[in-house]
């Protein structure tokens, strides 16, 4: 079905997840008339200004880019209204849409959210799915209202969570699935052939924004929980612990159901293997990839060969 080319669309998003959705729309010649994304931010050690993936993609396509700090001001709302949008598509934009914006386009504001709502509403749904040990997650196309991810569901698609998934790998898969779901949904939505379904608020769970402190490893926790943390906080902020005065990031790990004598945080050799593990509150967390602060990531075996005093030390 051909998308009605007179449905003028404003896209709002910032990270790579959103860029994947936007790229799919542009590749399929959807009528995106403007792109809203977060303002450029300092990035890296040099604190140079960095543009969002969505901004870079929009500029490649020659689309107007708008970067307000907020959409709550009358000036920002007036500028948005000036584009005359029939539809607003939102994907991880970090903008709060006031009622005046929500009521602006005749086809409403559709948000693509990387979870099966009402589970994992909020800022970090992908990491939360891994932290909770969910076997499945998915993407939801939702008609936005004034709440946080509370609007009625337009369409959903389920995605299996692999034991090897990190937030990075799962985000990529969900973005591809979400882009495809949006392409299938939009023509039906604009044609008025889709009905929405209210969310069951009694089943809602919430995820908050992640901070660097969240990723600090508490070795008193079970190895299974720490394994999920390592995956959920990869690539950012990276699960980490102190080794002496420096920070050590655990990039890849595996939970081991084996007995070990020692205290939580103690690094031990794994018999019959070149690998190492760390004693936890329950079981051992086998280390696969680690990264010393300011250094490149490397296998745990390679790390130990250069640092013989690692085995026997206590992390944290």
Q: What is the pLDDT of residues 171-200, one digit of tens each?
A: 999 999 999 999 999 999 999 999 999 999
Residues of the chain with CATH 3.40.50.170: 9-207
pLDDT, position 306? 87
Asked whether the beta carbons of 145 and 229 are under 8 A apart, the reply is no
Question: Which residues neighbour 98 within 8 Å (Cβ) at sequence distance 6 or greater?
Answer: 71, 72, 77, 146
Q: What is the pLDDT of residues 62-106, one digit of tens each?
A: 999 999 999 999 999 999 999 999 999 999 988 999 999 999 999
Euclidean distance between CA atoms 228 and 218, whole angstroms: 13
Q: How confident is the model at residue 47 (pLDDT cuts 50, 70, 90)?
A: low
Q: How confident is the model at residue 1 (pLDDT cuts 50, 70, 90)?
A: very low
304-311 average pLDDT score = 91
245-270 average pLDDT score = 94
Respond yes or no on whether the N-terminal peptide bond of residue 118 is cis (omega within 30° of 0).
yes
pLDDT, position 76? 93
Euclidean distance between CA atoms 37 and 230, whole angstroms: 29
CATH 3.10.25.10 fits 215-306, yes or no: yes
Using CA atoms, how far residue 283 sits from 47, 154, 219, 259, in Å, is: 41, 43, 10, 6
Residues of the chain with CATH 3.10.25.10: 215-306
142-158 average pLDDT score = 97
Looking at the domain that runs over 9-207, which CATH code has it been given? 3.40.50.170
């Amino acid at each position: 079905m051909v998308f009605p080319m007179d449905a003028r669309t404003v896209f709002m998003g910032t990270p790579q997840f959103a860029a994947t959705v936007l790229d799919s729309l542009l590749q399929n010649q959807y009528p995106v008339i403007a792109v809203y994304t977060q303002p450029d931010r300092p990035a890296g050690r040099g604190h140079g200004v960095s543009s969002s993936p969505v901004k870079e993609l929009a500029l490649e396509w020659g689309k107007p880019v708008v970067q307000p700090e907020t959409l709550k001001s009358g000036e920002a709302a007036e500028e948005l209204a000036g584009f005359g949008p029939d539809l607003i598509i939102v994907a991880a934009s970090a903008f709060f849409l006031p009622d005046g914006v929500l009521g602006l386009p005749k086809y409403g504001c559709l948000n693509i959210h990387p979870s099966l709502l009402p589970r994992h509403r909020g800022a970090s749904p992908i990491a939360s799915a891994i932290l909770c040990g969910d076997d499945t997650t998915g993407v939801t196309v939702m008609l936005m209202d004034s709440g946080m991810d509370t609007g009625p569901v337009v369409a959903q698609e389920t995605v299996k969570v692999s034991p090897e998934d990190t937030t990075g790998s799962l985000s990529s898969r969900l973005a591809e699935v979400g882009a495809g779901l949006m392409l299938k949904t939009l023509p039906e939505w604009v044609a008025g052939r889709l009905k929405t379904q209210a969310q069951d608020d009694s089943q809602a769970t919430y995820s908050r924004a992640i901070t660097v402190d969240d990723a600090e490893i508490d070795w008193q926790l079970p190895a299974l929980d720490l394994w999920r943390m390592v995956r959920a906080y990869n690539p950012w902020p990276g699960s980490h612990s102190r080794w002496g005065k420096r920070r050590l990031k655990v990039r890849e790990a595996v939970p081991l159901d084996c007995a070990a004598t020692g205290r939580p945080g103690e690094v031990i050799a794994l018999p019959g293997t070149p690998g190492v593990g760390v004693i936890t509150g329950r079981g051992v967390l086998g280390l696969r990839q680690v990264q010393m602060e300011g250094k490149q990531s490397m296998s745990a075996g390679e790390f130990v060969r250069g640092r013989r005093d690692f085995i026997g030390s206590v992390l944290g």
